[in-house]
Structures are given as C-alpha cells and as structure tokens.
C-alpha cells in the first residue's frame, strides 16, 4: 500500500528533488523546517504548532492538491501512465498509480519528474502567502534528503523522533504492513542525519502530554527567532 505522500513526496528520488532549486520569496518571514521519519508523528507536532498560531505549509497536503481533478500535473500523469489511474469520478486512484509507477525505475523517475515541479511551485506559493510576521512551519519529509528543501533560509529545524517499534506499530494501525514500512524507512534519511541539521529534537515516543510540553518549549523558542533581513537571490529550475 502506498499513500500519496509516499508517491509524491517521501518516495521521490533525491535526484528529482534536487533537480529543482527553491524559489525564494522576497519576504521569507520566520521559516522553520519540520521533518521526521515516517511514523514519527510529525503531523501531530505540526497540528500542535498550528494550534499555537503557526502557519503550516505541509508538503503532503500540497502533494494531494496538485493532483486534484483539473490540475495540470494530473493531466500529465494520465498522459504518462494511462487513464486507468483514475477512478470513476475522474480522481486519482492512488493504489492504481502506485502499482504502475513503482513497477520499474522508469516509472518511479517519471512520477518524480511530473509531480516534483508542481509540488515545489505550489509549496513556495503557499510560503509566500504567509503573513510577514508569521512563524511558517515547512513540514517536509525530505528536508534532509533534498538540497532544494534544505536550501531554504530556516531560522530553526525541528526533528521529530520515535523508537522504531513505536513507528512500525503506528504505521501498521494505518494499514501499512511492517515490511513495507521498513522499506520506506530504509529509503529515508537516518535519525543521525536528521539530528545533524536539527536545532530542536522532539521525542514523540511517549504520550500526548509529554509531546505537548516539548512543543510548548519549542514554540517559545521559535517566537524569539528573528527572520533574515534579506532573502537569498531568486533562483530558477536547473
């Protein structure tokens, strides 16, 4: 079973992700990178930060939006993989797309080449729309793996962790077989690689109360961070 985030974000090759440089906004505000391995509970942390007033730009949400009916990326996917990837209502049938796209390396590469530019453009558009004084949480599974994501001028990077067995149990409850979950984890950055870029590490191996306390502490620190005076020069796709 493959969900859309695995198809369009988490399972993209870093070659596809790195082929496109980020487009920097004129006013970037306080950008905060948020990342974590599959099953770590990153989305829960994002929800807690959103409740505190952060603007959250979620790469998974963007990945779903760019393949909605009428979107150019969906039309290109149909042209490449065939009309069989659509359901009766003309919406993307994710399991059918997964069965075709992950059948060989060419299919996987084509999926990345089609979806990544659309995801990147829509992600940057949402970042630019945030208020100038906002704390903008960039919720990105490939923050460590992707040069494009890592190149954003973050004032902080929050990494969410949880023990392996806890992550596997969570994913199994979501319908992801353990062997499939382990394959996805192996394709992602390691905890050590994420920690190397982190300014904050959140342990999500406990209960919600413990997690909330950690998020409270991180939020208080983020409010003290100042945005860069100037953003990097605008760059274009390579």
pTM given for the model: 0.81
Note the pLDDT tens digit of each residue in 172-224.
999 999 999 999 999 999 999 999 999 999 999 999 999 999 999 999 999 99
Note the pLDDT tens digit of each residue in 158-169.
999 999 999 999
Contact (Cβ atoms closer than 8 angstroms) between residue 117 and residue 14: no
Nearest to 43 by CA among 190, 141, 133: 141
> DSSP strand E in the chain: where?
30-36, 55-58, 135-139, 154-161, 200-203
Quote the tokens at residue 123: 């992600």
Beta-carbon contacts of residue 175 (< 8 Å; ≥ 6 apart):
1
Whether residue 18 has pLDDT greater than 70: no
Contact (Cβ atoms closer than 8 angstroms) between residue 14 and residue 140: no
């Amino acid at each position: 079973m493959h969900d859309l985030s695995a198809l369009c974000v988490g399972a993209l090759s870093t070659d596809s992700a790195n082929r496109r440089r980020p487009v920097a906004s004129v006013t970037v505000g306080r950008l905060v990178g948020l990342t974590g391995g599959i099953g770590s509970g990153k989305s829960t942390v994002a929800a807690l930060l959103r409740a505190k007033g952060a603007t959250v730009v979620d790469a998974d949400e963007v990945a779903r939006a760019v393949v909605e009916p009428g979107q150019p990326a969906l039309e290109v996917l149909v042209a490449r993989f065939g009309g069989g990837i659509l359901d009766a209502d003309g919406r993307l049938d994710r399991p059918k797309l997964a069965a075709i796209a992950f059948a060989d390396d060419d299919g996987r590469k084509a999926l990345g080449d089609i979806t990544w530019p659309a995801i990147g453009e829509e992600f940057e558009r949402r970042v630019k729309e945030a208020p100038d004084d906002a704390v903008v949480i960039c919720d990105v599974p490939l923050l460590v793996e992707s040069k494009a994501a890592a190149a954003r001028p973050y004032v902080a990077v929050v990494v969410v962790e949880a023990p392996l067995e806890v992550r596997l149990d969570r994913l199994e409850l979501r319908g992801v077989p353990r062997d499939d979950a382990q394959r996805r984890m192996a394709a992602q950055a390691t905890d050590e690689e994420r920690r190397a870029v982190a300014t904050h590490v959140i342990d999500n191996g406990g209960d919600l109360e413990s997690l909330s306390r950690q998020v409270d502490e991180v939020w208080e620190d983020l409010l003290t961070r100042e945005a860069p005076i100037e953003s990097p020069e605008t760059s274009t796709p390579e």
